[in-house]
Structure 1
């Protein structure tokens, strides 16, 4: 089997959430045949895994972030030269299966009928939900002032989700929740759950013992240019820090991630958070902490940061939004509250019972190892592809 995978960013080396998922999918697909990944940004991967090659769409080089030059809120409206180059690569490689990353690249699905390849749309998030969340996070004045523009953006995003899902032979989603959200937008065909991966399975060997959880050592990791994560850092600083300080116990919070915005730097300075920009080796950071605060209020998909923290043996302390779609049990796998201050209070209380914290960490690790390992993802992808129709029906 020959498999063509289109991605926005080069998935190797995998750094951010999207790249981590794309890389895991590519590795699983490579167990079934030859894989060619084609991305719009980055440089050619110096050493991709076995059975995987990588190319860049040369026409996209030097054009900057597509989101800043596209008139659509979620779709990258590809210029003619980029679309023509993608078409030529498709024709030259002659794949049996094409996997397209997310709504931004959904325009590529229009090429499928003339090439007669089966197609998959890999939905990392339900983008129309993300657009709606972003608008909901604006101030009331901003919502009123830009009411017409925001209404148009929401409608365009919903329409893009519906159209792309209808064009693909199969849609992959990260959670049952996202599958339900997509189905609610209109008729959709074959939707399959392909779980997000543990980014680095070596963290499964980090020790879990009571001593690790006695101290109030917290670590938040995420892409720090992504608005839901920026908001989470605000919640940590404004809601969690006062409660931790009021406990009278020493505490530390590390915020680490890629491409932090200036607002993140300002928040960390103001609230006494340690900022580590573009960390080179996450297992070291994760191994030094006992708790992972994840007070997310916006976003979609399933949070790779949750899986990563649990695999590393941290006690995840999260809102319902942060663990949405994962199937975790509050009080068994993680600490739960939709209020950042209350999350901090629960961490303080649990740190007084370090053995109970170690047991919760072990339960979380077992869950993600059983459901989000590379073996589990490869099994799900193999089954999904095996049950696809042999030829396009449209």
Structure 2
């Protein structure tokens, strides 16, 4: 283990147990960082046991919104930073940037924001009236930091143009995968999944998976119903679509129940079987920045991803082989044409994908950046 760095991470919400891609990204990055250098996460009191991870979790932040008030948490975080001789701070999301900045100044160490998406754009995209307040706060925080670890190159470009963030502060550190090569599925995975869903295993099985109380994902399901399925039905090609995830609004559940060749599976108990058995991930995202973690997950299982341009942010086509099909946002004819291409193309995620997106490589990228200060 490298002894010339010690990272302090500030994570502003409950991560354990995780329920979405954001917490998974925090847990996995810092788990792999901890295999290279000491990493201490300052987290909320309501996190559960972290024994299966390599990092040290300090559950000291109040569960209440007062944790965002810098003077409430400053001394606690400073004491942890001093105790473990922190050499750099990574602030997950910009919300606790003020206290990260204060601790870093006191310790005379660099601090960084890890940006999971452009928050002001995400809020603007889902119609929040106060998105401009977030614009100015996020702009201020990113420019004050020593650097920002963006999860997509597109977000980095956006911040450079609109937040006037200097190029030397913009770093690409994506969401990753735990796999070093494509896992071998059980031979009868699709048959088992098809039987559990009561569908024909001979048909291409398309899926959308995500937290379905999240507005960008809700909009994606609406796009599947309104824009994708009518066009796909006209092609005459056989298919089945499964929408998976918790908390889909009842109106969409009703529409799915009344539509042929699509069903709502709810929360997936056996995620491994689900991903092994499905053929193609539909990723018709139109709003929300950041990388779509389920797309990385799908590629890591050897699935083909049919995506809008927005949905493919953070994925590098040149290392995804024939696993990634991208159409322009709102080009639904192109999206459906890509589904048909994906159906006819054998699936194989190349080794280059696993080499770049494995968490150990991403952790080393992050360490190299913060060590440069």
TM over 0.5: yes
Instruction: Give the alignment of 1:149-298 within 5 angstroms.
Output: 150=129, 153-184=130-161, 185-188=163-166, 189-198=168-177, 200-201=178-179, 204-207=182-185, 215-262=203-250, 264-271=252-259, 273-298=262-287
Aligned with residue 325 of structure 2, among 300, 312, 335: 335
Alpha carbons of structure 1 residues 82 and 268: separation in structure 2 relative to 1, 3 Å: farther
Alpha carbons of structure 1 residues 59 and 11: separation in structure 2 relative to 1, 3 Å: closer
Instruction: Give the alignment of 1:1-394 within 5 angstroms.
Output: 1-40=5-44, 42-50=46-54, 52-57=55-60, 59-60=62-63, 63=64, 77-78=68-69, 81-82=72-73, 85-111=76-102, 112-135=104-127, 150=129, 153-184=130-161, 185-188=163-166, 189-198=168-177, 200-201=178-179, 204-207=182-185, 215-262=203-250, 264-271=252-259, 273-328=262-317, 332-337=322-327, 338=329, 339-340=331-332, 342-348=334-340, 350-351=342-343, 353=344, 357-358=345-346, 361-362=347-348, 364-388=349-373
Alpha carbons of structure 1 residues 83 and 253: separation in structure 2 relative to 1, 3 Å: farther
How big is the shift at 1:290? Answer: 0.7
Tell me if structure 1 keeps the 8 A contact 2:175–2:291: yes
How big is the shift at 1:105? Answer: 2.4
Secondary structure of 2:311's counterpart equals coil
Tell me if structure 1 keeps the 8 A contact 2:42–2:61: no
How big is the shift at 1:259? Answer: 4.6
Mapped partners of 1:56, 1:313: distance in 2 = 37
Mapped partners of 2:146, 2:70: distance in 1 = 25
How big is the shift at 1:285? Answer: 0.8
Alpha carbons of structure 1 residues 385 and 258: separation in structure 2 relative to 1, 3 Å: farther
Secondary structure of 1:219's counterpart equals strand
Unaligned runs of 5+ in 2: 191-200
Tell me if structure 2 keeps the 8 A contact 1:216–1:348: no
How big is the shift at 1:157? Answer: 2.0
Alpha carbons of structure 1 residues 196 and 349: separation in structure 2 relative to 1, 3 Å: closer
Alpha carbons of structure 1 residues 288 and 259: separation in structure 2 relative to 1, 3 Å: same
How big is the shift at 1:342? Answer: 4.3
The two structures have a TM-score, normalised by structure 1, of 0.78
Alpha carbons of structure 1 residues 256 and 59: separation in structure 2 relative to 1, 3 Å: same
How big is the shift at 1:14? Answer: 4.6
The one-character-per-residue Cα deviations of 1:21-41 (angstroms, maximum 9, x if unpaired) are 112220232023322222236
| Aligned residues: CA RMSD | 3.2
Secondary structure of 2:8's counterpart equals strand
Mapped partners of 1:281, 1:118: distance in 2 = 42
Tell me if structure 2 keeps the 8 A contact 1:208–1:313: no
Count of matched residue positions in the alignment of Structure 1 and Structure 2 = 351
Alpha carbons of structure 1 residues 59 and 335: separation in structure 2 relative to 1, 3 Å: closer
Mapped partners of 2:30, 2:256: distance in 1 = 36
Tell me if structure 1 keeps the 8 A contact 2:204–2:279: yes
Alpha carbons of structure 1 residues 118 and 270: separation in structure 2 relative to 1, 3 Å: farther
How big is the shift at 1:288? Answer: 1.0
How big is the shift at 1:302? Answer: 1.9
Tell me if structure 1 keeps the 8 A contact 2:122–2:289: yes
The one-character-per-residue Cα deviations of 1:166-210 (angstroms, maximum 9, x if unpaired) are 222221111222111111112435222112112x4288213599x
Mapped partners of 1:97, 1:173: distance in 2 = 17
How big is the shift at 1:19? Answer: 1.4
How big is the shift at 1:125? Answer: 0.8
Mapped partners of 2:360, 2:101: distance in 1 = 32
How big is the shift at 1:82? Answer: 4.8
Tell me if structure 2 keeps the 8 A contact 1:2–1:33: yes
How big is the shift at 1:269? Answer: 3.3
Alpha carbons of structure 1 residues 39 and 275: separation in structure 2 relative to 1, 3 Å: farther
Tell me if structure 2 keeps the 8 A contact 1:328–1:334: yes
